[in-house]
Amino acid sequence: MALTKNHKKALEAVDAEKYYSLEEASALVKKVAYAKFDESVELHCRLGVDPRQANQMVRGVATLPHGTGKEVTVLVLTTPDKEAEAKEAGADHVGLDDYIQKIQGGWTDVDVIICSPDVMAKVGRLGRVLGPRGLMPNPKSGTVTPNVGNAVKEVKAGKIDFKVDKTGIIHVSVGKVSFTPEQISQNTLEMLQTLERLKPSGIKGIYFKSISMASTMGPGVKIDKSSVPGI
């Protein structure tokens, strides 16, 4: 496929063989972004883990200090006594049986689903629909909790759920190109330090095999892990 003029310029601005410091990469990704929309900034980390081994699965949550820049749509499935709490916290959709029926009919027009533990017996039946889309509530990610209001506020403020894929790579959004380089850098640092804290105890050898960053349409920028404190 022929390269566009703007994409060619972006490629020329990035040295494919060089490992940039976190600060340099954050500024460069923003500089070479050329799309007419506000591109996401994606972080890609290849980890030295085997996701097929239960004790090497890396999964968790991180709260980015500057959020992701994305408007997150939240559905809360809960009992009537907690509906007001969820709505006041900023949930976009709140209910139970009516939304369960909608989801069974194929509706999944949300980014995050939060539920209280007492409705999991009903929500569990939605696994076939929600599981493949990464929407199934999970206690480990904080989306099954009696404190639905706090959970909604955290998600709206920039809390993200992530999981290593079957090839051992973490893909996660750490902001938008409209962010300042400092905001991108600080979000990325928080994410990388969170991954370090989640390092499986049985891992031998190199944990962070490679780290790179790219905007939605832009080229990848390699990050020198020695420039990242705490990993």
CATH of the domain at 164: 3.30.190.20
pLDDT of 220 reads: 96
Residue 10 within a domain = no
pLDDT of 29 reads: 97
pLDDT of 2 reads: 60
- The Cα–Cα gap between 152 and 115 comes to 10
Of 37, 30, 35, nearest to 14 by C-alpha is 30
pLDDT of 6 reads: 84
Residue 78 shares a structural domain with residue 145 = yes
Range of the domain at 105: 74-156
Residue 132 within a domain = yes
Instruction: Tell me the per-residue pLDDT of 169-202, one tens digit each, with 9 for 90 and over.
Output: 999 999 999 999 999 999 999 999 999 999 999 8
Close Cβ partners of 85 (under 8 Å, ≥ 6 residues apart): 148, 149
Helix (H, G, I), strand (E, B) or coil at 196: helix
Q: What is the DSSP letter of 52?
A: T
Q: Which residues of the chain have pLDDT under 70?
A: 1-3
Rama region for 205: left / alpha / beta (φ>0; ψ in -120 to 50; rest): left
Residue 113 shares a structural domain with residue 144 = yes
Residue 7 within a domain = no
Residue 26 shares a structural domain with residue 64 = yes
pLDDT of 3 reads: 65
Residue 1 within a domain = no
Residue 59 shares a structural domain with residue 86 = no
Residue 45 shares a structural domain with residue 81 = no
Residue 106 shares a structural domain with residue 171 = no
Residue 98 shares a structural domain with residue 147 = yes
What total of structural domains would you count in the chain? 2
CA 17-22-23 angle, to 5 degrees, is: 110
Q: End of a domain among 156, 188, 203?
A: 156
* For helices 22-32 and 5-13, angle between their N-to-C axes, nearest 10 degrees: 160
Instruction: Tell me the per-residue pLDDT of 94-103, one tens digit each, with 9 for 90 and over.
Output: 999 999 999 9
pLDDT of 5 reads: 84
- The Cα–Cα gap between 36 and 119 comes to 43
pLDDT of 134 reads: 86
- The Cα–Cα gap between 155 and 159 comes to 5
> Got the DSSP string for 140-164?
GGT-B-S-HHHHHHHHHHTEEEEE-
Residue 114 shares a structural domain with residue 221 = no
